[in-house]
A and B are shown apart, each in its own frame.
Chain A
Amino acid sequence: MYDKYTPPFTLNFEGHEISVEKDRENLIYRRTCSYETVEKILLNTQGDFLINPIEPVNLPKPITSFLLIDFEHPVVVGPGTKQKIYLTFPVETGIFIIGRNGDHELIDVLTLSNIKYTLYGAPNNGVVCRYWKSKAFTSYPHPDTRYEGDIELDIINDTTYWMEVTKAVFNAYGMKIYYGKEQLSMRAFMRIINRNLAETGFMTYTTTAEFKRSIELYTSRKIILNGNRGIMEHGL
């Protein structure tokens, strides 16, 4: 499903249909699913279409850049240790049009995953986050990439205490999503500073012809008013 397509084409998956028709010099993009129909006319366009996963914070509309993953069971990490776990995250799929110069523009976003939001912290100073509940796996979970991707999370406990972690908050600025035929992944870390404070961020994978990096919608900003790291300051 995640691939480059040359118009005209039609794609059916899980009750969704994506089609692009040619209309003289123009293209007509259609997406139908059970709850919504989207139709756009792309004027004087000749480009290809790229369908790939994007940062899962865009639907129903982007109101936050944060993703909160709620662990089904808490994870306990020993003092001064580094442990690896796997989590799942919701998949959002972006449909991009690619211009002649290789420039790209997002024209539609869809998902098969459940969409829910939550508050991390208190109503006066917390942040609204996309909510996702996940098991904490100790080995690669092989999720269905149409619905879920996986996060390989390194938890680094810099404290001298045993720490219980129940959630992870990630900032979409800096998210790096990779996809292949049967895998859709991110690599992240969580550095625990104290009981109420941790820092999260993303790392890169090695890309190959089979394992590509997604186009990022949320690129890092130049000044650090909203950096690309996630700061968990309202508890773990």
Chain B
Amino acid sequence: MNVTETISSLPETPETVLKIVGAILVLIIAIAMGKALTIYLQRSLKDKVDKGHLDIILKVGYYGLITLVIVVFILPLTGIESSGLLVTGGVLGIVIGFASQSIVGNLISGFFLIVERPIKIGDQINIANNIGFVEDINIFSTIIRTYDGLYMRIPNQTVFTANITNYVANVTRRFEYVVGIRYSDDAEEAIKIIREIIDNEPFALKNPSPGVFVDTLGDNAVNIIVRIWAPITEWFEMKTRLLWVIKKTLEKNGIEIAFPQRTVWFAGELQTRKVTDTQTELLPEARNMYPLAERTDLTEEIHGLPEMQEGTKEG
């Protein structure tokens, strides 16, 4: 290339630079306008729209405005044909798709998560044994804050394909206690007391009605099932508080919570004697095993012998 040709090609370069600078400026203005639009929408809709919906509206507003500016202003400014871009984009899409399947998978999963909405920002969820609050749903990943305050990023593909348990999707939730009382106590009285406690609890819902009934006659106790429905926002506080209230109130009314105990009946009459004076009342077996009969502290040792336990136990 000679000097003349080089000079003749020069005027095109500043024009291209100008176009690029112009496009960047327009893009910066679009981003600033998007931010302004986001702030305006946030302020005006904060009290009127719940957080999950508001987040989607803000994202759609922001990215929608930028996309619109790119298509309407930046592409014509830079002289890029949108039809050509579509073809190029299609080819590139295939190439990128093969190269980055997981990213595209996460992107598509994120789209479907936003459309299907099995979880919302602020919900308490369990995704593949990851339990916590949903902090954000992005296009590639979902952010969870676990109950112990950890930040957890889960790829959207995992979220979409895993079993999701949403603990707060419904407006109410039921919790249950098993209250075991002694066989000697009056179960009907216990049920009456528990029902009174539930009636006095504002957030123990009237409908669906609570259930209090004798469920099983267990080995050690008469088991009363207590089922209470509560608003989803209140159930945990109630569950952690009410069982102790039930226990204390039952005890105040003479009804004890039973604990495991076993009564043993022997076929023959037991030869039991109270060992009061170890020097004179030693059992023959103990005398054989313990020739030091003159020891005065033998009582404890006799009780300690496995084969002597039944013989020495008091009724």
Contacts and interface: CB of A to CB of B under 8 A. Distances in A.
Contacts of B202: 59-60, 115-117
Main SS of the interface on chain A?
loop
Interface stretch (B79-87, B211-219, B227-235, B294-302): B227-235
Interface in A20-57: none
A225 interface: yes
Contacts of A208: none
Interface stretch (A91-99, A120-128, A190-198): A120-128
Among B173, B202, B229, which residue has the most Cβ atoms of chain A within 10 A?
A: B202
B274 interface: no
Contacts, number: 53
Nearest to B234: A63
A119 B234 contact: no
Given A116-B206, A117-B203, A118-B206, A63 B233 contact: yes
A147 B10 CA distance: 90
Among A64, A116, A126, which residue has the most Cβ atoms of chain B within 10 A?
A: A116
A63 B235 CA distance: 13
Nearest to A132: B206
Contact of B49 (A64, A120, A225): A225
B205 to A, nearest CB: 5
A142 B146 CA distance: 54
Contact of B171 (A115, A116, A126, A222): A126
Nearest to B49: A225
A127 B199 CA distance: 20
B253 interface: no
Instruction: Bin the interface of chain A by size.
Output: 20 to 34
A223 B205 contact: no
B175 to A, nearest CB: 13
B48 A223 contact: yes
A118 B207 contact: yes
B231 A123 contact: no
Nearest to A225: B48
B172 interface: yes
A173 interface: no
Interface string B132-165: 0000000000000000000000000000000000
A181 interface: no
A204 to B, nearest CB: 25
Among A70, A119, A131, which residue has the most Cβ atoms of chain B within 10 A?
A: A119
A36 to B, nearest CB: 13
B208 interface: yes
Contact of B170 (A70, A118, A124): A124
A139 to B, nearest CB: 28
Contacts of A126: 171-172
A63 B237 CA distance: 14
Contacts of A223: 48
B211 to A, nearest CB: 15
B206 A123 contact: no
B49 A128 contact: no
B206 A131 contact: yes
A4 interface: no
Contacts of A117: 202-203, 205-206, 231
Contact of A118 (B173, B205, B234): B205
Contacts of A82: none
A190 to B, nearest CB: 19
Which 5 interchain pairs have the tightest Cβ spacing? A118-B206, A115-B202, A118-B207, A123-B172, A123-B170
5 contacts: A59-B202, A64-B231, A124-B170, A221-B47, A225-B49
Given A119-B205, A125-B171, A225-B48, 8 more contacts: A59-B202, A63-B233, A118-B207, A126-B172, A127-B171, A128-B172, A221-B47, A221-B48
